[in-house]
Amino acid sequence: MASLSPNALLLGAFEQLGAVGWLFFKTMKNLFRRPREHQILLQQLEEIGVRSLPVVSLTAAFGGLVFGFQTYTGFHRYIGPGSEAFAGPIITLGLAKELIPILVGLMISGRVGSSMAAEIGTMKITEQIDALHSLGANPIRYLVVPRTLAAFFMLPCLVLYGDIIGILCGYFYNVVLMGVNRVMYVQNTLMYLEIWDVATGLIKSCVFGVVIAIVGCWQGMETEGGAEGVGRATTRTVVISSISILILNFFISKLLPATLKGG
Amino acid sequence: MIRIIDLHKSFGPKVVLRGVSLTIEKGETMVVIGQSGSGKSVLIKHLIGLLKPDSGEIYIDDVEITRLDDDELLRVTRKFGLLFQGAALFDSMTVAENVRFGLERYTRLSEEEVRKRVSESLALVGLNDAECLMPFELSGGMKKRAGLARAIAYRPEIMLYDEPSTGIDPIRADAINDLIKKLKNDLGITSVVITHDMVSSYKIADRIAMLYDGEIIEVGTPEEIRNSKSAFIQQFIHGQAEGPIKDW
Ligand SMILES: Nc1ncnc2c1ncn2[C@@H]1O[C@H](COP(=O)(O)OP(=O)(O)OP(=O)(O)O)[C@@H](O)[C@H]1O
Ligand SMILES: [Mg+2]
């Protein structure tokens, strides 16, 4: 970094924002152009989706357990023994709307975003991106589009899967371990939960998917200066996409209506 | 035909090209010589649009390429084959997949023809047995030859060779010189060859251009270059440490 004056920093931030925006724009422009890279899309779907299942399972399971545990404690302590069955809808709502999308988003940005940056960054410094271009292939269409599409489709799938695991684990903690009334727990949950609650989580996760892929590809394509540069790109990818996910999450949550049932 | 007009390029404070002008006729083999770090690779990357000049123009068959957008540029790029100095093979693909990359995507060849073209190209560089190997399993010279096979596979109109014989044994290197001549004679390919090897230069070149201090200081037939009066050229082609070129 040449100069660290506030002006230069601000300017740098805008420049970077511009660069990501430009990459996003070019990705959208190339989204449906030929040749389509089906093979790579499939590979990425597998890489982002199938191979993330173990991580997502663990994260969602323990997320659900701990959230179930603390909500139980809350009801037990403040409202009184017997009221724990009302924790059902709160646990489910919290998990489906916020906790699972955020946890999955963060885990995937660490697992997938960083590996995108490393892979593309290595291609960049070994001139493989130039080689793509020299063979008449558009690197955006070949590298960025399939990754962005795959992340866009796979993140909601992972989040939905995580919702199920998390909600089951919340149920498991309360009903099976703590002996909360099963019928009441389930009835309360079904009464207050809307499909929309799950849907907002899924909508957000689509956005997170695009953020993870675009940031990873952008950092990869901007990589300069050998192995150290690749390391820097991966770290920055995780930091930038995690923070973006947390910030975007808040604003999307605020923007989307809390319920579709009016009121 | 390639026309380079007054090309300037700097990286930050470092000025690499300061007004390069050069015309390469259709079907001609132009050899570019010059010291290590003089900007030969940078020059060749401009021809194919990998680098954008600070100023200057490049015409490829009368299309000015320095201001084209991505897709227009790629259409021009498909006329080119480029052998990278460092081979730049796709390291997640086998040698054969590397070679067929452009064929599969940008030609209308059938699977049968693609396969045939791949083995032909690999045979031309003496790598028939390497089809299924991954790049990390190849020696340096084999990588270079695989890169060459990939570049020539889809029969470009213009070939750019960045040091085709560096890192390759003398026998193979001479075979590659023959290949460059054969492609020119059989297919009428226009070639730009960067090399440090003066023997090869004399053998393959129609004309030789010397890049020094960011400019083309002389262009001529091998004969003219050999008899050049320029002390710079004489020092370079005879490989002498003593002479007007001091900053090596
Ligand atoms: N991407 C880049 N960023 C900064 N400087 C660069 C970049 N690419 C090349 N250079 C600089 O430009 C100059 C010319 O480099 P170039 O690779 O063209 O040399 P060359 O003539 O091909 O040398 P060699 O014969 O050793 O391959 C070098 O001084 C190099 O430091
Ligand atoms: Mg070079």
ipTM, two decimals: 0.92
The minimal CB distance from B78 to the residues A26, A130, A136 is found for A136
Decide whether any atom of ligand 1 lies within 6 Å of the B16 Cβ. yes
Asked if A64 contacts A57 with a C-beta cutoff of 8 angstroms, the reply is no
> What is the mean pLDDT of each successive set of 10 residues along chain A, which is 263 residues long?
70 88 92 85 95 97 96 91 89 94 97 96 96 92 95 97 96 93 92 92 96 97 94 96 96 89 65
Nearest residue (CA) to ligand 1, atom 25: B36
pLDDT at residue number A11: 83
Q: Does domain B1-79+188-248 have CATH number 3.40.50.300?
A: yes
- C-beta atoms of B84 and A127 within 8 A: yes
pTM of the predicted model as reported, rounded to 2 decimal places: 0.91
Q: Where are the domains of chain B?
A: 1-79+188-248
* HSE-CB for A116 with a 13 A CA cutoff: 36
What was the pLDDT predicted at A205? 97
Q: What is the DSSP string of chain A?
A: -----HHHHHHHHHHHHHHHHHHHHHHHHTTTPSSP-HHHHHHHHHHHTGGGHHHHHHHHHHHHHHHHHHHHHHIIIII-TTGGGGHHHHHHHHIIIIIHHHHHHHHHIIIIIHHHHHHHHHHHHTTHHHHHHHTT--HIIIIIHHHHHHHHHHHHHHHHHHHHHHHHHHHIIIIIIS---HHHHHHHHHHH--HHHHHHHHHHHHHHHHHHHHHHHHHHHT--SHHHHHHHHHHHHHHHHHHHHHHHHHHHHHHS-S-SS--
Reported as a pLDDT band with limits 50, 70 and 90, residue B248 is low
Residue B42 DSSP one-character state: H
The three-point CA angle B185-B186-B190 to 5° equals 55
What does the alpha-carbon distance between residue B86 and residue A123 come to, in Å, rounded to a whole number? 13
Q: Does B172 touch chain A (CB under 8 A)?
A: no
Compute the C-alpha angle B230/B236/B240, nearest 5°. 110
For chain A, which residues make up each domain, given as ranges?
Answer: 36-255
